[in-house]
DNA sequence: TTAACTGGAAAA
DNA sequence: TTTCCAGTTAAC
């Protein structure tokens, strides 16, 4: 865009306001003319840009050709953000390729503007976006929105930091950190030599996993390649961040989290894209980081549902990383104290090898006892009448307090107690509206939490018993109880909004809800106690047991080497047995068998379709379901506060072999519906829960 | 937003 | 059969 100098000089001679007005008008006209002229003259080389346009329409999910004006030719390189005219509107897009000619028969619109010459979309991520979109029956535009953070112009213009000089990684320290886990030394060696090993890793309790992961990354850097580490939440990422700083030296990695804010997020993204750093640690979005020379992908605690993206097309970070490992020829490490059936599947199929602690090592790290809280003992132990902590647990806590902090994990927080039948533990429901019953004030009958009805003569609908119990006591009550029982001992709570990350290594009782357990500075807890284990079980969820085991394992893993674990629950339960033997892999493999019989993932491919009744029905009619496929439902979803339209959900299921076929058919439905402008239906492939 | 396309009605 | 028009559709 150029304006001639003599013209400007002439305008300067006109008086004040008038001059400005005239200048403005003339400038506008001149600008338009200049733009037209500039657009008319096309780039000499490759005058066609293929652009991925950011549209919400599934049937337009492909590159469109635009003419490249000569003045933009230099900047309009593959990967840059552009503005283009599409159906009369200015929309954003990314240039994916430049070409000499177009397949399109009509006249090409010119690019409106190159937003910035920064090639934010790397070729690898451009290809990945197509694969992820395919796998989840979604669109590339949606995937790119997850993969590329919004632009922050000031950050982009700021000078780049100077890259850190290459450090050296100490293989001996790496092997020492991984001691007890086999065959970790071979895995590290393979990484350092540029190999692409793939492993599913079960960590021993008390393992400082951030340190071990940092060493795996160190080994990868040693081979000249980069790495991505993804963990469920900011707390995990902070620990990994610190460990990476220690092992790799400063300035060799970045931490990508949503908490950091848009400027920091874009700055770190650019540092990665510009190849100033090759190591990224972060939450689920980091799985898309455009790391150059990707050599290793790591996902920690892949059973945490935070790793599955809540925005379309709902990809799971583990799956994105495994796809990348395959596409980009990188090594992979799927680690945790627990194990998912998906990780088990990676082993079963031979895609990955196993790394696990040897038996003696695991046993020396942690001894678990199950405190008999069978119904019989609960009744006999007088302490349990007023508390849920059996005598055996009190003794264990007292002993452990002599040498360090003790962690009590208790499900859910607060006082608010829904009631259940004392005998069979069926939740107590209001006889009028089926709402949950709560304790009314002192000496009053229980009340309904929804309609307030006072239940004068409640009797259990299942067993007829008239006794009520408060199953959810919560952390506040537990903390209070601990204060009473152990006077003079510091009681710390961590839950809900007040989550502690770290506590000092001094005797204290720490009461925390699952996922909110603070880490101990130094070695770990002297003992970890899991209360009310039965509360996490028996939920009507597909993954209830798996999820409970994961949460317990993560808490028990915080013991110091040689520490004690105490589990209050029914010792006959297989989940608790798995904890006792620290055999989460065995549990996952058994669970996989159960899933196989029940035709559930990973033995089957599942997808859900959600939407209003009519649209959902219509979508199911359009769906060309593969042979042997079935539709379950649709069922009405409960709507909390539902002023809006009813929402229904159907589940479609096919044998795993027909998975790709199903996903293709779902994609087809989405394209068809978008082309016909029908009400959208949400499609979720491999939903994390049902 | 808008050019191109569709199909149906009127004119011949 | 041709022409005209209005509503629809695709979209570079």
Instruction: Tell me the C-alpha distance between A618 and A632, whole Å.
Output: 15
CB A605 within 8 A of CB A659: yes
Measured from the CB, is A497 under 7 Å from any atom of strand B?
Answer: no
Measured from the CB, is A66 under 7 Å from any atom of strand C?
Answer: yes
Instruction: Tell me the C-alpha distance between A55 and A141, whole Å.
Output: 7
Considering chain A, what percentage of its residues have pLDDT values greater than 70?
A: 85
- The answer to whether the predicted template modeling score (pTM) of the entire model surpasses 0.95 is no
- The predicted pLDDT at position A372 comes to 66
Measured from the CB, is A106 under 7 Å from any atom of strand C?
Answer: yes
A186 burial (CB, 10 Å; 0-12 / 13-18 / 19+) is: middle
> Which bases along strand B come within 7 Å of a protein CB atom?
1-2
A83-101 pLDDT, tens digit each: 999 998 999 999 999 999 9
Instruction: Tell me the C-alpha distance between A171 and A193, whole Å.
Output: 11
Measured from the CB, is A52 under 7 Å from any atom of strand C?
Answer: no
CB A420 within 8 A of CB A469: yes
Measured from the CB, is A86 under 7 Å from any atom of strand C?
Answer: yes
Q: pLDDT-derived band of residue A107, with 50, 70 and 90 as boundaries?
A: confident
Q: pLDDT-derived band of residue A228, with 50, 70 and 90 as boundaries?
A: very high
- The predicted pLDDT at position A199 comes to 98
Measured from the CB, is A677 under 7 Å from any atom of strand B?
Answer: no
Measured from the CB, is A107 under 7 Å from any atom of strand B?
Answer: no
Nucleotide nearest to A64 (CA to C1'): C12
Instruction: Tell me the C-alpha distance between A580 and A586, whole Å.
Output: 12
Instruction: Tell me the C-alpha distance between A479 and A492, whole Å.
Output: 8
- The predicted pLDDT at position A85 comes to 94
Nearest to A421 by CA among A399, A411, A404, A436: A436
Residue A107 CA to nucleotide B4 C1', Å? 13
CB A322 within 8 A of CB A131: no
pLDDT higher for A219 or A4? A219
A604-663 pLDDT, tens digit each: 999 999 999 999 999 999 999 999 999 997 988 876 655 677 899 999 999 999 999 999
Measured from the CB, is A88 under 7 Å from any atom of strand B?
Answer: yes
- The predicted pLDDT at position A416 comes to 41
Residue A673 CA to nucleotide B7 C1', Å? 23
Mean pLDDT, range A551-577, rounded to an integer: 91
Mean pLDDT, range A527-551, rounded to an integer: 81
φ, ψ dihedrals at A401, nearest 5°: -60, -20
Lowest mean pLDDT among A349-353, A361-365, A658-662: A361-365
- The predicted pLDDT at position A25 comes to 59
Nucleotide nearest to A85 (CA to C1'): C12
The answer on pLDDT for A466 being more than 70 is: yes
- The predicted pLDDT at position A485 comes to 84
Mean pLDDT, range A457-480, rounded to an integer: 75
Measured from the CB, is A87 under 7 Å from any atom of strand B?
Answer: yes
Instruction: Tell me the C-alpha distance between A667 and A136, whole Å.
Output: 8
- The predicted pLDDT at position A685 comes to 97
Question: What letter does residue A64 receive in the DSSP assignment?
Answer: E
Helix axis angle, A584-597 to A544-556, nearest 10°? 170
Measured from the CB, is A525 under 7 Å from any atom of strand C?
Answer: no
pLDDT higher for A1 or A320? A320
Q: pLDDT-derived band of residue A425, with 50, 70 and 90 as boundaries?
A: low
CB A663 within 8 A of CB A609: no
Residue A675 CA to nucleotide B12 C1', Å? 40
Residue A85 CA to nucleotide C5 C1', Å? 29
Indicate the average pLDDT of chain A: 87
The strand pairing partners of A69, in sequence order, are A42
- The predicted pLDDT at position A50 comes to 96
Measured from the CB, is A62 under 7 Å from any atom of strand C?
Answer: no
Structure tokens at A455: 């239940």
A152-169 pLDDT, tens digit each: 999 999 998 888 888 889
Nucleotide nearest to A86 (CA to C1'): C11
Residue A106 CA to nucleotide B5 C1', Å? 15
Structure tokens at A356: 């696990």
A181-219 pLDDT, tens digit each: 999 999 999 999 999 999 999 999 999 999 999 999 999
Instruction: Tell me the C-alpha distance between A299 and A672, whole Å.
Output: 36
Instruction: Tell me the C-alpha distance between A106 and A54, whole Å.
Output: 21
The answer on pLDDT for A379 being more than 50 is: no
């Amino acid at each position: 865009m150029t304006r001639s100098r003599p013209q400007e000089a002439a305008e300067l001679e006109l008086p004040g306001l008038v001059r400005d007005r005239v200048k403005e008008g003339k400038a506008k006209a001149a600008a338009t003319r200049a733009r037209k002229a500039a657009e008319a003259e096309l780039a000499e080389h490759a005058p066609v840009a293929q652009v991925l346009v950011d549209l919400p329409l599934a049937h337009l999910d492909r590159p469109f050709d635009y003419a490249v004006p000569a003045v933009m030719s230099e900047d309009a390189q593959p990967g840059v953000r552009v503005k283009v005219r599409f159906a009369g509107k200015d929309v954003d897009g990314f240039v994916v390729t430049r070409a000499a000619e177009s397949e399109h028969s009509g006249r090409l619109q010119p690019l409106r503007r190159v937003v910035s010459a920064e090639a934010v979309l790397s070729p690898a991520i451009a290809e990945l976006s197509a694969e992820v979109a395919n796998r989840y029956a979604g669109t590339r535009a949606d995937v790119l929105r997850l993969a590329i953070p919004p632009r922050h112009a000031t950050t982009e213009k700021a000078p780049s930091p100077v890259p850190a000089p290459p450090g050296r990684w100490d293989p001996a320290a790496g092997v020492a950190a991984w001691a007890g886990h086999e065959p970790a030394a071979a895995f590290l060696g393979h990484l350092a030599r540029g190999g692409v090993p793939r492993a599913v890793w079960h960590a021993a309790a008390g393992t400082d996993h951030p340190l071990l992961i940092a060493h795996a990354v160190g080994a990868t850097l040693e081979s000249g390649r980069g790495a991505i580490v993804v963990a469920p939440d900011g707390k995990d990422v902070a620990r990994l961040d610190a460990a990476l700083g220690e092992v790799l030296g400063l300035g060799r990695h970045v931490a990508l989290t949503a908490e950091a804010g848009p400027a920091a997020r874009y700055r770190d993204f650019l540092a990665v894209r510009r190849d100033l750093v090759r190591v990224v640690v972060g939450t689920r979005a980091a799985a898309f980081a455009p790391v150059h020379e990707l050599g290793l992908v790591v996902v920690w605690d892949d059973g945490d549902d935070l790793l599955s993206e809540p925005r379309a097309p709902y990809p799971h970070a583990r799956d994105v990383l495994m796809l990348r490992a395959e596409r980009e020829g990188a090594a992979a490490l799927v680690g945790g104290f627990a194990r998912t059936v998906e990780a088990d599947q990676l082993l079963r199929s031979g895609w990955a090898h196993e790394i696990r602690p040897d038996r003696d090592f695991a046993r020396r790290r942690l001894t678990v006892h199950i405190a008999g809280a069978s119904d019989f003992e609960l009744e006999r132990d007088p302490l349990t009448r007023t508390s849920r902590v059996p005598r055996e647990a009190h003794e264990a806590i007292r002993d452990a307090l002599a040498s360090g902090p003790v962690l009590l994990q208790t499900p859910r927080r607060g006082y608010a107690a829904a009631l259940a039948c004392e005998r069979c533990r069926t939740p107590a429901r209001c006889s009028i509206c089926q709402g949950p019953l709560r304790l009314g004030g002192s000496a009053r009958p229980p009340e309904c939490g929804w309609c307030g009805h006072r239940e004068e003569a409640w009797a259990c609908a299942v067993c007829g018993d008239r006794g009520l119990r408060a199953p959810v006591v919560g952390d506040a009550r537990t903390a209070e109880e601990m204060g009473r029982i152990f006077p003079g001992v510091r009681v710390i709570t961590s839950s809900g909004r007040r989550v502690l990350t770290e506590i000092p290594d001094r005797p204290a009782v720490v009461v925390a809800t699952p996922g909110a357990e603070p880490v101990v500075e130094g070695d770990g807890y002297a003992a970890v106690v899991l209360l009310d284990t039965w509360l996490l079980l028996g939920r009507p969820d597909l993954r209830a047991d798996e999820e409970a085991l994961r949460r317990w394992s993560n808490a028990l893993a915080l013991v110091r080497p040689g520490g004690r674990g105490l589990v209050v629950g029914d010792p006959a339960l297989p989940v608790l047995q798995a904890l006792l033997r620290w055999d989460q892999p065995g549990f996952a493999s058994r669970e996989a068998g159960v899933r196989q019989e029940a035709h559930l993932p990973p033995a089957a491919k599942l997808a859900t379709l959600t939407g209003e009744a009519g649209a959902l029905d219509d979508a199911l009619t359009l769906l060309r379901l593969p042979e042997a496929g079935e539709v379950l439902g649709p069922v009405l979803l409960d709507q909390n506060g539902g002023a809006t339209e009813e929402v229904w959900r159907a589940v479609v299921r096919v044998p795993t072999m027909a998975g790709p076929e199903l996903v293709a058919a779902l994609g087809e439905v989405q394209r068809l519906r978008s082309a016909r402008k029908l009400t959208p239906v949400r499609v979720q492939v491999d939903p994390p829960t049902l």
